[in-house]
Chain A
């Protein structure tokens, strides 16, 4: 019986000469440990973002022209709002399925960044950023920060009260960049805040075209780099070595798994989009620069910045009458740059500090590199504590813990706790390593005894 697949494959190969690549691609090996799937989760969230984003882009009106609302949602009747806000209201409350798509899109954005972070942590704590994968690590970091920008622009386009306040803060942070802040913000906004109408069409085209193209390109480069050098793998048996990779081929083994994961991610995101409300703009109302609400927050992945901005003591760096470094610079510009800089430097710093310049295809378990793991835990806890302080006002409202006391405690804790965690984590890794060595010695000793007992046994049996 002739194989039904031969015909189409022949058709393609005769026209593209791609059969050898297809053969190689189909048998690309994946180490099938679950932790290697986190990057895929991010990729699939991105696909959901593209799909839902295309739908939204067909209904969204990127215009700041003002209109008085007289639509179907009566609590906003008579309210002055931008056409952009009105179009999102219509998507949410008038078009069937619009709210589902919009909420799925927003949940996908939140999950996208969370997945990137989980993936980053896996790569970091297994040392998978080492040679030859430093470029992949750098591209990944660019992806993370581009995703943050994309998300920020996305929810700011809606022009609701919450995101409008966030946009004003973005303007203030941009202005705080020494010397060039003013021209830079005037260039981007087109005029002093709230900017001229071009701002919205610029944000729109950046959000729906320019940055997604950048993200897709970076993802493409990231994936090509990964495949070119192959994934790392854990040392799970003697067959797993620096030179030989052991894994599941893309086809037929890995493909249905990855596809299943893609559908799980998409399914979960649509369930969230249908069941849990996110960014209910009809409750927040439209933004005006003279309005503010208590409890305004950015989306979670920018919470580290609001925490930093709130933690900073109040001072501008001035020279005479000139304000050289306005206050938001420290929390809004320097802090994220430092985080990015530290993360970018990780592969090169590790080479410098350990003197290890070799190629690494085997993944460490976190305990196998106590210094790196301890540093990662400490650095993450530093960022996380700053992030946590961003919610201090709601913690006060909820549990009565004084904001002032929290401010004082956090200003100390963000330095003390990471230091403590560094020491503790390092000790713990070493302890785990020692425990394993002890176990290994015990096991080999028992092996020894057993084999000696076996050697003596035949004479005993023969004696009977």
Chain B
């Protein structure tokens, strides 16, 4: 008996240690790694943008946004590689910076929603700098209130649901994760549709007009609180949570009912 006890307690200790290690790794934050001048001007400025760009972006995106086609060792020991930024305009820079997609620790990581490491002033500065690299689209000003949810639902289903899931809960495309959209802002949706960040296709105004985009944005914003007329929405993910409810709520309650009505095993 004491042997079994010892085995159990050793197993428990090992399990706890493993759990602690996993938690520690999860909690551990990467280094901020943002290089910024010791004194920054009070207002956003293109010069500040240039400085921030040189310290944080040039190692992958090249000097003056010319891009780095093949990996080249850069600052901080990173093997830099990145697309050129000529002509991407304010729109792209604003999107990638405000969502935390950029900066990216390694070119091989998946860019995705992340902590935003730059301040608002710094982002504005960087945006104006990147915009100066070549003529490109400016930051859009969508008006979702003027859209129609009905039109937005149809357009989203047709163009977006395949990757983002009908209720914008995110999904999987071979080799990458598609982010859920419950926390994104209207401007970011408008920007993303026009750029197609990372692996997303892009949609020009000739395919999805600005008015249609307003409808799509209105729909996406509504997915934060989908119309759960039937009660608890259990994540709006479909049959997987429904199956979990069947086996983790219904089945135990039914077993309890059987135990309440029937009898346990008698000892002879």
**Which of A's residues lie within 8 Å of B, judged by CB?**
32-38, 41, 74-79, 92-93, 99, 103, 107, 110-111, 114-115, 118, 161-162, 234-238, 257-258, 260-261, 264-265, 268, 272, 274-280, 282-285, 291-300, 303, 391, 393-394, 396-397, 400, 403-404
Q: A237-B266, A293-B165, A299-B239 are in contact. Are A277 and B250 (CB under 8 A)?
A: no
- Other-chain residue from A92, A238, A394 in contact with B237 (beta carbon distance below 8 A): A394
Contact A275 B153 (CB under 8 A): no
Let me know if B108 is at the binding interface, CB within 8 A. no
Q: How far is the CB of B216 from chain A (nearest CB, A)?
A: 13
**In whole angstroms, how far apart are the Cα atoms of A264 and B161 in the complex?**
40
**Which of B's residues lie within 8 Å of A, judged by CB?**
149-151, 153-154, 157-158, 161-167, 169-175, 177-178, 180, 222, 226-234, 236-240, 242-243, 245-247, 249-251, 253-255, 257-266, 268
**In whole angstroms, how far apart are the Cα atoms of A268 and B227 in the complex?**
24
List B contacts of A265 (CB < 8 A).
254, 257
Q: A75-B149, A297-B239 are in contact. Are A291 and B261 (CB under 8 A)?
A: no
Contact B268 A235 (CB under 8 A): yes
22 A-B residue pairs with CB within 8 Å: A34-B259, A35-B258, A114-B246, A257-B262, A268-B254, A274-B231, A276-B230, A285-B157, A291-B161, A293-B162, A295-B166, A295-B169, A297-B240, A299-B239, A300-B239, A391-B240, A394-B237, A396-B177, A397-B180, A400-B177, A403-B172, A403-B174
- Other-chain residue from A93, A107, A283, A293 in contact with B250 (beta carbon distance below 8 A): A107
Contact B268 A237 (CB under 8 A): yes
**In whole angstroms, how far apart are the Cα atoms of A75 and B177 in the complex?**
28
Contact A397 B153 (CB under 8 A): no
**In whole angstroms, how far apart are the Cα atoms of A248 and B170 in the complex?**
54
Contact B246 A300 (CB under 8 A): yes
Q: A41-B258, A75-B227 are in contact. Are A236 and B150 (CB under 8 A)?
A: no
**In whole angstroms, how far apart are the Cα atoms of A28 and B4 in the complex?**
46
**In whole angstroms, how far apart are the Cα atoms of A298 and B240 in the complex?**
8
Contact A236 B265 (CB under 8 A): yes
List A contacts of B254 (CB < 8 A).
41, 111, 115, 118, 264-265, 268
List A contacts of B245 (CB < 8 A).
272, 276
Q: How far is the CB of B220 from chain A (nearest CB, A)?
A: 13
**In whole angstroms, how far apart are the Cα atoms of A99 and B231 in the complex?**
10
- Nearest neighbor of B237 in chain A, beta-carbon distance: A295
Contact B178 A294 (CB under 8 A): yes
**In whole angstroms, how far apart are the Cα atoms of A114 and B254 in the complex?**
10
List A contacts of B150 (CB < 8 A).
74-79
Q: A33-B265, A234-B265, A294-B172 are in contact. Are A92 and B258 (CB under 8 A)?
A: no
- Other-chain residue from B164, B166, B230, B261 in contact with A285 (beta carbon distance below 8 A): B166
**In whole angstroms, how far apart are the Cα atoms of A296 and B166 in the complex?**
9
- Other-chain residue from A111, A257, A276, A292 in contact with B232 (beta carbon distance below 8 A): A276
**In whole angstroms, how far apart are the Cα atoms of A203 and B76 in the complex?**
64
Contact A99 B229 (CB under 8 A): yes
Contact B257 A283 (CB under 8 A): no
Residue among A37, A274, A282, A396 having the largest count of chain B Cβ atoms under 10 Å: A37
